[in-house]
Structure 1
């Protein structure tokens, strides 16, 4: 895995993030990953069983939370800062080799509390329609899940 270079990253609209107030430098995504993510979201919107709130341009509305990006690119320096500030904060704080530095890892909202790493929250997340849809479909778009983190999907193409 190699760190994303600035010219490989783009900054999606704040409306595509679970927290639209997230700083622009924390909304960066690797270009190919973002293209695949948008294709995957269009497919999810087209699935009537999910009943996702969307615009006529096949984009999630501001009020729709499912499939929104919680976290994307994080530099190694930023990841280390998270570890220092909250050494017991769960996987985000503990991940020494987090793949987020590649710009190809996305944490997506699949239900429950988006930043809670407790088993009880994971149990909620894996039962949602959004998570089950990702398990069935994400690989078609180049995404694979990360072990024991229902919210974490990595673009591997």
Structure 2
């Protein structure tokens, strides 16, 4: 099963401070003038902190079927667990108009009343649909792999 991610924010004078917790353990914090920016920065710092703890790609099992229909499988998983539908957004967009590249993120709310959610970015892709599928695949890996 995946980890429970919780981002809490507080307002201090003119700044918002966001704190990232994974399974109740403090991982990172960041501050910014706007709450959403503080949360985003704290999440980026948390990902940078946690990335070295992941096993090398060569040690992870191949999940080709999961990668092919990841969005569909993630929707089914959320439905089975009675979670809201996954929310996809563009995390990064780069390149000229004729050669756009996208990185998408997917967010799953786990505990609505407490603000707990899981957030994963996918890999950069040339098609938005493929970028969303990549994010869904990463989320499935988080949820299903030990």
TM-score, normalised to structure 1, is 0.27
Query: Which has a greater percent of strand?
Result: 2
Answer with 1 or 2: which has the greater Rg: 2
TM-score of the pair, normalised by structure 2: 0.28
